[in-house]
Chains A and B, each alone.
Chain A
Amino acid sequence: MARRHLIIGGGTAGMNAIRTIREEESERSTITLVSAEKPYSRMVLPYYLDRSIAESHVFTATARVLADWGVTAQLGKRVTALDTAANRCTLDDGTAIEYDDCLIATGSSPVRAPVPGADGPGVHSFWTLEQCRGVLAQIKPGSHVVMVGAGFIAFTILNSILALGAKLTIVEIAPRILPRMIDDTGAGLVQSWLEKHGVTVRTGAKLARIDDAKGRQRLKMAAGGDIVADVVIMATGIRTNLEWLKASGVKINQGIVVDDHLRSSAPNVYAAGDVAEGRDLISQANAVHAIEPTAQEHGRVVGANMAGKDVRYRGSLIINIVEVCHLDVASFGAWDDAKAENASGVKADRPAYRKLLWRGDRLTGAIILGPSSDIWTTNDVGMLKGLVQSGVSLGPWKAHLKKNPFDVKPAFIATKTTSSLLPETILGRPSKAPGESPVAV
């Protein structure tokens, strides 16, 4: 059994792996963590941005917690090379670390639009804690914030920007907002909702360059109509952090190709989270998901396998939820599957929208949108996830849902979805609580 574990990356995947190793191992092993940053959760940065939590709340493991877990932490350092034949990695300060097995969980970095001025002062990314601090320092009540990009990451901080009293303009090159999360109908409803709440949205708008305008930023648009901003946030996508691994011989496609135990092509090397190209639950094909829930499940499965267990991963389900101005927007699985049968329903006045997608009589994807004050929206979000995750045969309920896409609960209960979900666990055993003090105070 592996005695020396090396975890590269202190994000969600890496930290879940560490905790699971400690939960599962029969003999105490050594764990070394190499992480460019102190471990924190990106998911909660929007709540630090709107000052509803203190900065200390974002950390997922303090030095004391890492010590409690018996982790040797190499923080502020990066791995520059991996020698999979010698089971050794090299850090940017020259340190060499030998391992019996290793996890690559180096995550992603933000990418800026390739236009002149995109790297200028006053233009920010919002991905790391450091970048969050940068944005927080710049936004004042009345500031005009221009968000370039209308994807999931941009939308997670939309409420925070408004809560800080800023005026917000969103510029998106695609013909609709949230292009990789919801369809045209859903995007239209969300856009109208945002406009009703004072947000300016420009879709199909190509940015040409950003010029300094006496301390403010002038965004030159390709089709004209310049925008002057106090703060520009570029949320134009992410790319996986894999450059350092090019010479290692580890097989990389869109991400590191992994098998059903999250093993890469190299012996004793696992990959998890954004960098891993693992099985998608619905398509059963390999894909890079780059979402928090996948990183969490990957991390736990790898941790168990590193600890000597034999845990096969069923595959991950794409799930996304974001709330904007008290409107919940969520999608699951293969929501954009053009070949799937589908049904939808709109209540434009609330607004509320459902789209359900089937292959045969199994739900394979869904889009749901509704006011976050509607209990049934929140409950249906979960039940739709359960229907997609379990893949229960809907039988006659398919026809019912096609006619009544808002009436999810009876279909969920009467198809005995609970029965098929209850035995399911990721690690083949009940999950353990996060523990007495695994999270920083």
Chain B
Amino acid sequence: MRVLKIHPEKCTGCLRCELACSYMQTGDYQPAKSVIRVSPFEGHTSYAPYTCTQCAEGWCMTACPVGAITISAVGAKDVVDDRCVGCKLCTIACPYGTMFYDPATRKAFKCNLCGGAPACADACPTAAITYEDVETADWLGDFARERTARVLAEAR
């Protein structure tokens, strides 16, 4: 299956992925509605986007009491709007923090790989987000460990 592969060292923090994602998902250019989130590291000198890994368990999907989260044709866990009642069980079941909830529509939403043409990867000018046929993985762990040393030193 093709997944979103993140290359954090290439991210410039331009937030185009968030704009593209929010537009694709909700019709608004509004980073607050994006399901890919760019995080700053090292006092805003490094950045990395973070989104759903389309994990094997699909904690959101198995938790849904009405079967409103399914697997789409491209293998993404996808919320079926007509079935979602907005109970938020998926937001607490997902251990990655990649479920979202829109108070206006009272629906949960998440990365669905834009049906096989992810807008974030398309919008990224540095190829920090690519859509590839690879095993999903922890793309940010090593990068974040290295780029958070200063924050941790300050905490001591």
Contact = CB atoms under 8 A, between A and B. Distances in A.
A41 B156 contact: no
A: interface residue count bin: 35 or more
B29 interface: no
B98 interface: yes
A400 B89 contact: no
Interface stretch (B9-17, B112-120, B122-130, B139-147): B139-147
Contact of B97 (A326, A381, A415): A381
Contacts of B148: 410, 414
A206 B94 CA distance: 39
A418 B56 CA distance: 12
Which of A400, A414, A432 is most buried by chain B, counting CB atoms within 10 A of its CB?
A414
Task: Give the one of B96, B99, B106, B156 with max A CB within 10 A.
Answer: B96
Interface string A107-120: 00000000000000
A68 to B, nearest CB: 14
Interface string A317-333: 00111010010101010
Given A43-B65, A425-B56, A383 B144 contact: no
A44 B65 CA distance: 8
Given A41-B65, A430-B57, A321 B86 contact: no
A38 B96 CA distance: 34
A300 to B, nearest CB: 7
6 contacts: A41-B66, A326-B103, A379-B97, A382-B92, A417-B95, A422-B138
Interface of A: 12, 41, 43-44, 46-47, 52-53, 57-58, 60, 292-293, 296-297, 300, 319-321, 323, 326, 328, 330, 332, 372-373, 375, 378-383, 385-386, 389-390, 396-397, 399-400, 403-404, 408-410, 412-419, 421-426, 429-435, 438-439
Given A378-B97, A382-B92, 17 more contacts: A292-B65, A296-B65, A375-B37, A375-B100, A390-B95, A399-B152, A409-B50, A410-B41, A414-B141, A419-B137, A419-B138, A430-B57, A431-B56, A431-B61, A433-B70, A435-B67, A439-B66
